[in-house]
């Protein structure tokens, strides 16, 4: 049994992504309209926007043994065998430092660190729907469209995780 969860965009991600896209398109248009010696510069912001879009989180798929993070052309498989707990925590990413990854251009993905979680991997599109998965050797933060339903199903499948916060 596989259950799909969408990855809706929260307001901060929408605003950041629109502004960054407009900035990239504006720089590209400016360089293409300029002297021929700077036209090549226009390809850099377009490549940056395309690269960021490729890593965008499109959804999550939960099965008996793994969580799949869906991207445009591939999925990242997270086995659930060593899952210790799972809990909803909309404050989980607050005061985080991005150590490697994307901080809001179509998603919040990559490696982050904060005092509450230590080092963790993020696959997030909505900061208000955050679920923290604690594995034996790592932390993963995701944002399914229905965190409560996700946690109920995860608990039913694995028997692990905290009781979901109904709020």
Q: Which residue has the tokens 């504006």?
A: 26
Tokens of 55: 């890593």
Helix (H, G, I), strand (E, B) or coil at 68: strand
Can you give the pLDDT at residue 162?
Answer: 59
Q: What is the pTM of this model?
A: 0.90
pLDDT tens, residue order, the chain (167 aa): 789 999 999 999 999 999 999 999 999 999 888 777 778 888 999 999 999 999 999 999 999 899 999 999 999 999 999 999 999 999 999 999 999 999 999 999 999 999 999 999 999 999 999 999 999 999 999 999 999 999 999 999 888 765 555 54
Radius of gyration of the chain (CA): 18
Pick the closest to residue 31 from 41, 22, 21 (CA basis): 41
- Specify burial of residue 116 (Cβ count, 10 A radius: 0-12, 13-18, 19+): middle
Can you give the pLDDT at residue 150?
Answer: 96
Q: Judging by DSSP bridges, how do beta strands 118-124 and 131-135 pair with one another?
A: unpaired
For 42-149, where are the E strands, in sequence order? 59-62, 66-70, 75-79, 83-88, 97-103, 108-114, 118-124, 131-135, 139-142
Please say whether the beta carbons of 66 and 80 come within 8 A.
yes
Residue 3 host element (H or E): strand 3-6
Can you give the pLDDT at residue 81?
Answer: 92
Burial 118-156 (b: 16+ CB within 10 A, else e): eebbbbbbbbebbbbbbbeeebbbbbbbebeebbebbee
d(CA 67, CA 20): 30
Please say whether the beta carbons of 77 and 114 come within 8 A.
no
């Amino acid at each position: 049994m596989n259950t799909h969860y969408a990855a809706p965009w929260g307001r901060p991600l929408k605003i950041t992504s629109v502004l960054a896209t407009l900035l990239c398109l504006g720089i590209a248009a400016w360089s293409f309209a300029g002297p021929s010696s700077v036209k090549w510069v226009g390809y850099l912001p377009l490549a940056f926007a395309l690269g960021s879009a490729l890593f965008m989180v499109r959804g999550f798929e939960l099965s008996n043994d793994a969580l799949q993070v869906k991207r445009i052309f591939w999925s990242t498989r997270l086995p659930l065998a060593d899952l210790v707990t799972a809990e909803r925590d909309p404050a989980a990413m607050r005061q985080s430092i991005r150590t490697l990854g994307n901080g809001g251009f179509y998603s919040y993905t990559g490696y982050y660190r904060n005092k509450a979680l230590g080092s963790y991997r993020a696959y997030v599109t909505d900061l208000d729907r955050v679920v923290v998965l604690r594995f034996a050797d790592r932390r993963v933060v995701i944002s399914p469209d229905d965190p409560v339903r996700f946690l109920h199903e995860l608990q039913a499948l694995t028997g692990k995780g905290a009781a979901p916060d109904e709020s």
